[in-house]
Amino acid sequence: LGLSGPPGAGKSTFIECFGKMLTERKHKVSVLAVDPSSSTSGGSLLGDKTRMTELSRDMNAYIRPSPTSGTLGGVTRTTNEAILLCEGGGYDVVLVETVGVGQSEFAVADMVDMFILLLPPAGGDELQGIKRGIIEMADLVAINKADGDLVVPARRIQAEYISAMKLLRRRSKVWRPKV
């Protein structure tokens, strides 16, 4: 599964909760977390692993943070090979977290079985903020953080994306993207 979304959408938190659920069901989970690189040092903060503390201690999970090292598209130059290595190593679920969202950060969509766009419910003008390219590639749009005071904005953004996705050409004859 590939996951993308704007900073603050809760990608790492979602992955940790989902990953723990999967390991409790006896799956072996690998997380390939792609971080933006520093233009000065070329490295990255690799903060995703530190935000997934419970999952990082799980013996049935593997978390590999990697800097983009200047590669465009939201993934690293070797993400596809890393997916294959994880599968070969016995991990039956591989989650790829991209650097974030823009118009072209969806190269992961061609590497995975399902591409998920994770969105927060109250980010302003959502349909303007998230560009058409990434929406067209999404197999699933998930509105995250939809609780408390954010229930109403979450329902609104869900309705907006359902309407917007009806205008897009489907990539598959058998799957209609869900929101």
In whole angstroms, what is the distance from residue 62 CA to residue 111 CA? Answer: 19
Q: Evaluate whether 40 touches 94 at the Cβ level (below 8 Å).
A: no
Q: For the chain, what is the mean pLDDT?
A: 82
Q: What is the pTM of this model?
A: 0.84
CATH of the domain at 79: 3.40.50.300
Per-residue pLDDT tens over the stretch 30-65 = 999 887 655 555 555 555 556 788 999 999 999 988
93 assigned to some structural domain: yes
The two three-digit tokens of residue 90, written as one number: 């016995």
Give first-to-last CA distance, the chain, whole Å.
16
Residue 179 within a domain? no
Per-residue pLDDT tens for 64-95? 887 665 555 556 678 889 999 999 999 999 99
Q: Are 88 and 63 in contact (CB under 8 A)?
A: no
Asked if residue 130 is part of any domain, the answer here is: yes
Residue-wise pLDDT for 99-133, tens only, equals 766 555 567 788 899 999 998 887 655 555 456 67
Q: Which domain holds residue 83?
A: 2-167
Q: Compute how many other C-beta atoms are within 10 angstroms of the C-beta atom of residue 153.
A: 17
118: three-class secondary structure by DSSP: strand
How many distinct structural domains can be found in the chain? 1
